């Protein structure tokens, strides 16, 4: 069942991808390992950034959520700055909904870039900086975007 569902999602991603997102298997031999890019949303400090994500789809998909991590360094309260782990409710096994797709997940991650959840930080430093000085926080985000997430940094 998972292979049929994943093949359908691959076709949908190629034929009708969400705006500012690309995603698909890394190679033709493994439909369970994807790579994705997300362009930073225009109305955020992440604009002009291109972010690479690694997506591991479990064999039990869609009944278990994919594991998504940023490969591009990013300064965000809900993303671990060292390993790219993402704190997003829909990716938690007890909150995952099998009706969600990889496309839905990527759109939710884009929304997280627009609206961080400061109550559930993986990067407490980013949350604390935001609470102390929103302008310094935004400056730090822009510095990281400039240093790590330009299209020239995508490998």
SS3 category, 153: helix
C-beta of residue 11 within 8 angstroms of C-beta of residue 25: no
The mean-pLDDT minimum among 29-38, 46-55, 92-101, 145-154 falls in 145-154
What is the reported pTM? 0.93
Q: Is the pLDDT of residue 96 over 50?
A: yes
Of the chain, the percentage scoring pLDDT greater than 90 comes to 93
Catalytic residues: 87
pLDDT of residue 155: 47
- Work out whether strand 30-39 and strand 50-56 pair parallel, antiparallel, or are unpaired: antiparallel
Angle between helices 102-114 and 2-15 (to 10 degrees): 60
Fold (CATH) for 2-148: Ubiquitin Conjugating Enzyme (3.10.110)
* ω into 62 cis (within 30 of 0): yes
Query: What is the pLDDT averaged over residues 122-133?
Result: 96
Give per-residue pLDDT as tens, 50-80: 999 999 999 999 999 999 999 999 999 999 9
Q: Which residue has the tokens 């390993």?
A: 83
pLDDT attached to residue 1: 76
pLDDT at 154 over 80: no
∠ CA 109-89-121, nearest 5°, is 80
């Amino acid at each position: 069942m998972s292979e049929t569902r994943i093949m359908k999602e691959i076709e949908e991603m190629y034929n009708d991808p969400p705006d500012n997102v690309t995603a698909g298997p890394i190679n033709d031999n493994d439909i369970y390992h994807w790579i994705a890019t997300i362009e930073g949303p225009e109305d955020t400090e992440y604009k002009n950034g291109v972010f690479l994500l690694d997506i591991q789809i479990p064999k039990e998909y869609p009944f278990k959520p994919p594991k998504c991590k940023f490969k591009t360094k990013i300064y965000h309260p809900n993303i671990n700055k060292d390993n790219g782990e993402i704190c997003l409710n829909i990716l938690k096994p007890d909150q995952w909904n099998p009706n969600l797709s990889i496309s839905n997940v990527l759109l939710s991650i884009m929304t997280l870039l627009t609206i961080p959840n400061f109550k559930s930080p993986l990067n407490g430093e980013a949350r604390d900086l935001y609470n102390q000085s929103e302008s310094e926080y935004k400056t730090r985000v822009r510095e990281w975007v400039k240093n790590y997430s330009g299209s020239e940094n995508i490998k």
